[in-house]
Amino acid sequence: MLYGVGIGPGDPELLTLKAIRVLKEVDIIAVPKSKTDGESIALDILKGVMDLHGKEIIELTFPMKKNRDELAASWNNAKDEVLKQLDIGKDVAFITIGDPLLYSTFIYLMEALKNNGGSGIKIKIVPGISSVNAASASACIPLANSSERLAIIPATYEEDKLRQTLKDFDTVVLMKVNKVMDKVIPLLEELGLKKNAIFVSMAGWKEQEVVKDLDTLKGRELDYFSIMIIKKS
């Protein structure tokens, strides 16, 4: 059995009871990391709430690159390693920050398995608190209510699509906004929405930051775990 286990946005206390139970019961915990010689952020979170002494851990590298060939090679390597463990009858839990089915590394692994003869593999998902939920809670701002429409999109969207989404939805959550802040702020000014935006960095971590004055962010090097919530009402 392969489990996709969401471990929350960063605060170890936000792991669910079910996630902890599953991780204690499985034979192997698979952890993603972005560099072969780096530490796994997901594993560091887990260490804050679980004793991993004696637990078998396998590390899978998913580099943060845009080259599709390099990414595909990483996904295939991860797929092969997981398949090897499943084939000998071991239960594997792949941990991922946030929720396994929302902009998650686990999705790539799951698709690689399904596309390469792994359609018969049993997969169970243990949902986790997403960074979107954590950011909303940190800023104490509702994501949607009643008939309001909510969009969650990468901030790296093409500008025309981003503009249209901001026009069409009552609340828009921009993921990975750190790299495109110089594009996003002028667009919000153009649409008269800058005062409706809240920036949240490292939601659920001790380094968490909530910013309402977007001008203070100009020229800053922002963390990868950055989200912006734009709510019209």
Domains, the chain: 2-126 (3.40.1010.10), 131-231 (3.30.950.10)
160 vs 70, more confident? 160
pLDDT of residue 11: 93
Which is nearest to 45 in space by CA: 8, 17, 20? 8
Single-letter amino acid, residue 126: V
Residues found in the chain: 233
Beta-carbon count within 10 A of 66 CB? 7
d(CA 128, CA 19): 8
Mean pLDDT, the chain, integer? 92
d(CA 4, CA 58): 14
pLDDT of residue 233: 86
184 vs 67, more confident? 184
Q: Is the pLDDT of residue 201 over 90?
A: yes
**Residues 93-138: tens digit of each pLDDT:** 999 999 999 999 899 899 888 877 656 789 999 999 999 999 999 9
Over residues 3-23, the mean pLDDT reads 96
**Model-level pTM?**
0.91
For residue 115, the surrounding DSSP H or E stretch is helix 105-115
176 vs 75, more confident? 176
pLDDT of residue 97: 95
The sign of the torsion formed by the CA atoms of 75, 76, 78, 79 equals positive
Q: Is the pLDDT of residue 196 over 80?
A: yes
**Residues 36-73: tens digit of each pLDDT:** 556 788 999 999 899 999 999 999 988 766 667 777 77
Side-chain half-sphere CA neighbours of 156 within 13 A? 6
**Residues 144-153: tens digit of each pLDDT:** 999 999 999 9
d(CA 118, CA 112): 8
